Homo-oligomer: A and B are copies of this chain.
Amino acid sequence: MEKSICKPTLLLDEKKARKNIRRMIAKAKKSSVRFRPHFKTHQSAIVGEWFRQAGTTAITVSSVDMALYFAQQGWEDITIAFSVNLLQIDQINVLAKQISLHLLLESEESFKFLEENLAAPTKAWIKIDTGAGRTGIPAQSSEEILALAKMLAQSRNLRLSGLLTHSGNTYQATSPEQIREIYIDTVHKLSALRDLLNRAGLQPIEISIGDTPACSLVADFSGVDEIRPGNFVFYDLTQLSLGSCSQAEIAAAAGCPVVAKHPEREIIVIYGGAVHLSKQSLLQKDGTIIFGAVAAQKDRGWGSLIPEAYLTSVSQEHGIVHVPPAMLQETRIGDILTILPVHSCLMVNLLRERTDNICSPPGLFKSL
């Protein structure tokens, strides 16, 4: 029996998500690169199965805890794509003994600690900053990278696999062309570093990249060994605004009850705020800032975005939705609005455990 929504509820369009998965897998195959999707976007055993059924065997996560969770779900080849947290060495050792574990290093300090404390062999990737400016050794610091690579080549338990980056700077791009340019620049920088390491006798050195904008917009991954996109399984308004997805590919939303209407301000108030959608905002081309947008209702799932219907602010539990007058007139208190998120990873992280009241019309929606 179909359960109805009575509070902010995660809606997943399984069909769209599986299609997003299949398309990215086909693309990886065409370029003969390893597909190691990032599971931080969904953090879900169920969605993990959608990937497994499509042929995925290697995955990426962003914390030791997520690695432990997915190892329990039978995943045996996991990269923790986060500069290794030395304080979780005990859990890292549990994993290292159990699965094929990949860690990220970016300093001699971390190397020395792991060299002394790792209890089983693990793969090691050098985390490179190719321009995102978050973390990693800057690509131009080639001597530092070579020195760390040489240490890894001599290590007791760490096996140097290659160079890894997350080109998060694609999220600041203003056009798909710019995203493709950032991708080319990234691969260029990593290839030059690989050559340097090869000349020093270190090989094979693989190259791993992994942002959804580039992986969605680039057709050919020549020169790369592995891609690690995550967000593409659901996409969101940020990806839509970057041009890396279409509206029809967005596969995650929140169903939120209407609790008040303010016609004089063209405002609908929903039960759905920062603890459901996150405080992530998106600067639109017209200079306004939004926290989500409203999609049209459909019998099953949702339709296109409704023009001029978007969240203008969120507090802890409230969402303030600007809507056009016609929609405001039709909407009643107790209706459900379907909100597409600015950032699906953060929304899913907040809503995924609220599973006691999930809308599941047969064959379309699935909860986590």
Query: What is the CA–CA distance of A333 and B113 in the complex, to the nearest angstrom?
Result: 10
Number of copies: 2
In the assembled complex, A260 has its CB within 8 A of some CB on chain B? yes
CB–CB A65/B7 < 8 A: yes
Chain B residues with CB below 8 A from A315, complex form: 134, 168
Which residue of B is nearest A279, CB measured? Answer: B279
CB–CB B333/A345 < 8 A: no
Chain B residues with CB below 8 A from A148, complex form: none
In the assembled complex, A110 has its CB within 8 A of some CB on chain B? yes
CB–CB B62/A317 < 8 A: yes
Total contacting residues, chain A, CB less than 8 A: 54
Min CB gap A262→B, angstroms: 7
CB–CB A257/B87 < 8 A: yes
In the assembled complex, A269 has its CB within 8 A of some CB on chain B? yes
20 pairs across A/B with beta carbons < 8 Å?
A5-B87, A6-B85, A6-B87, A7-B65, A7-B88, A40-B317, A62-B316, A63-B271, A87-B334, A107-B260, A107-B333, A113-B333, A134-B269, A134-B313, A134-B315, A135-B259, A135-B260, A138-B264, A168-B315, A279-B346
**Those 4 A-B pairs whose CB atoms lie nearest each other, nearest first:** A6-B87, A279-B279, A86-B334, A83-B259
Please report A residues at the B interface, Cβ cutoff 8 Å.
Answer: 4-7, 40, 62-65, 82-88, 106-107, 109-110, 113, 133-136, 138, 168, 257, 259-262, 264-265, 269, 271, 274-275, 278-281, 313, 315-318, 320, 332-334, 345-346, 349
